[in-house]
Structure 1
Amino acid sequence: MMNDKNVEVMEVHFYEKPGCINNTKQKVLLKDKGYKVIAYNLLEEPWTTTVLAKYLSTRPFAEWFNVSAPRIKSGEINPANFGEEEALQAMIDDPYLIKRPLIRVGQNYGCGFDSVLAKELMKEEIDRALLSCPKSKTQNSCDDEIK
């Protein structure tokens, strides 16, 4: 029988927007599953197109964007007008545009808490309420409060 001290806890690198209600709940769920969650501020990370693409390319291009981002909600930016390279650069310039959280476990990458990687980590159905901003319909989103 293996001693609990010898069991390695899987590290989940979690890129969030600090203060995001759902990112906070998502981290708690991962910790409750026994993972070691290492949180990073997605907005301050020195992204490159190559690194960011590893996370985003795990889902269809149309799902790369945070639809609660102020510039998308205001109509200033229409994600449909971007190609992939333009989108990556726009997200580096304005990380609020990035669908979150970004998750990495070893060399596995995911974008959003509904990503294949997040679903594998949770090993169960994810509450749909944790997949979009709870403030977006009734009040300004957390993104709006920061900008």
Structure 2
Amino acid sequence: MALIKCPECGKEYSDSAISCPNCGYTAGNQKNLKKMGQGIKEGMKGLNTTASPKKKSVCVKLSIIPFVAIVMGIIGGNLNNDALIAICGLLAICSGACNFYVGNFKKGLLYTLTCGGFLVGAVMDLVHLKVTGTFKDANGYPVIY
């Protein structure tokens, strides 16, 4: 087991490692991964696992869109305010944004057409993101950052 120098960050790491634990550079060992959403090595946190490069905070913010759309639709309907109802419609179209962000295009389309899976799917995504930490991208890597 020899130490090799990483061409990205310059630090030394074991030649038997899949990627550099400092910066995540891979020397062509993971060519079978999809281009979008490639996993990165999480050596800095010491978890020794592959994780999605997608941001958890962005996913949480995008998962809240259907709730905002429903609330604005209710308020706009009660006030007979066409502008609020129009904004609600635009937000409802963006309800699948979190799933589009992580590469789940079929699920994103379903959420777009049903305003977050009639909010049930949006609640489940938020639980997977915030409580259980098991929300995954299209490659099956957990979104944990």
User: Which TM-score band applies after superposition, normalised by the shorter structure?
Assistant: under 0.3
User: Normalization by structure 2: what TM-score?
Assistant: 0.26
Structure in which a larger fraction of residues adopt helix: 2
- Structure number, greater radius of gyration: 2
Which structure carries more relative contact order (alpha carbon 8 Å, separation 6+)? 1
Structure in which a larger fraction of residues adopt strand: 1
User: Normalization by structure 1: what TM-score?
Assistant: 0.26
